[in-house]
A and B are shown apart, each in its own frame.
Chain A
Amino acid sequence: MEEAEKELERRSKFLNSLIQQKKKAAIESEHEHESSLKVDVRACDMPLPLQNRAFQCARLYLESMPPANKLDSKRLALALKKEFDSSYGPAWHCIVGTSFGSYVTHSVGGFLYFSIDKVYILLFKTAVEPLDH
């Protein structure tokens, strides 16, 4: 009975050790993830779900590029604009870069200016011209 008890204790310690290692690895990998593509909201007038959508879209795009590649601002701007135009209705406008200032007029609830890694992204919505035939 003592032998069985010792064996159980040994196995229990081993499992605890495995669990602890896994937790540590998960935390480390999460930190790596966070540190590589950190998001900072600089100015915002947008519901949270839309914000998160923008962050996710930008993150996926940047992560899909090989690290050595130069940022393709125009392509990222297009990707974000298309996603928001199709998901939340036109017209969205997107500016991506490392050095710019701006002044715009936007629709209520349609403005987000954030940075991700070293890239700044401005995403905003306006009304569209009614078709006039």
Chain B
Amino acid sequence: MEGAQEELERRSKFLKSLIQKKKTIEQQEQHDHLQHNNVRVRACDMPLPLQNRAFRCARDLLDSMPSKKLDSKRLALTLKKEFDTSYGPAWHCIVGTSFGSYVTHSFGGFVYFSIDKVYVLLFKTAVEPLDHS
């Protein structure tokens, strides 16, 4: 019985250790990912996969723009469409180099980040129910 208890404790410690290692690796990967893409999260209430989706989408579009001039509206539209399509409406996106904002967003639907010298605000709200009466 003592032997069994020791074995259980050993396994428990091993599992905890594995979980911790995985968390550390994930955090490191995220950090590396952000640095590599020159992304910095300023404020956030959003699951990690959605954040990464936004960063990748922004990175891809910025890289694809031949001119150095930022096309804020196009980036805003691209992000909004991608998120409306993938995670349901309604998403709103503001892109620029100089703005302040105050918004109300749905739970888990808010990220404010910078990529290169551009700031991006992406947030979700409820949509008006269609009223046919």
Which residues of A come within 8 Å of B, CB atoms? 72-78, 80-81, 85, 90-105, 107-108, 122, 126-130
Q: Does B127 interact with chain A (Cβ within 8 Å)?
A: yes
Instruction: Please encode chain B, from 50 to 79, with 1 for each CB lying within 8 Å of some chain A CB and 0 for all others.
Output: 000000000000000000000111111101
B104 touches A105 (CB 8 A): no
Report the minimal beta-carbon distance from B63 to chain A, rounded to whole angstroms: 18
**Sample of 15 further A-B pairs with CB below 8 A, known A101-B73, A103-B76, A126-B90:** A92-B104, A93-B103, A95-B99, A95-B103, A96-B100, A99-B97, A99-B98, A99-B99, A101-B75, A101-B96, A104-B93, A108-B128, A126-B128, A127-B127, A128-B126
Taken together as a complex, chains A and B put the C-alpha atoms of A104 and B127 apart, in Å, by 11
The listed residue (A73, A80, A103) touching B92 by CB distance below 8 A is: A103
Size of the chain B interface, CB-CB below 8 angstroms: 34
Instruction: Give me 21 A-to-B residue pairs in the complex whose CB atoms sit less than 8 angstroms apart, sorted by A's number.
Output: A73-B99, A73-B100, A85-B104, A90-B104, A91-B125, A93-B101, A93-B104, A96-B101, A97-B96, A99-B97, A100-B72, A100-B99, A101-B71, A102-B93, A122-B94, A126-B90, A127-B127, A127-B128, A128-B104, A128-B126, A129-B126
Residues in B with CB closer than 8 Å to A105 are: 80, 84, 89-92, 127
Q: Which B81-129 residues sit within 8 Å CB-CB of chain A?
A: 84, 89-104, 106-107, 121, 125-129
A contact patch SS = mixed
Report the minimal beta-carbon distance from B89 to chain A, rounded to whole angstroms: 6
Report the minimal beta-carbon distance from A87 to chain B, rounded to whole angstroms: 15
Query: With contacts A77-B101, A102-B73 known, is A95 near B125, CB below 8 A?
Result: no
Residues in B with CB closer than 8 Å to A102 are: 72-73, 76, 92-95
Report the minimal beta-carbon distance from B96 to chain A, rounded to whole angstroms: 3
Taken together as a complex, chains A and B put the C-alpha atoms of A94 and B130 apart, in Å, by 24
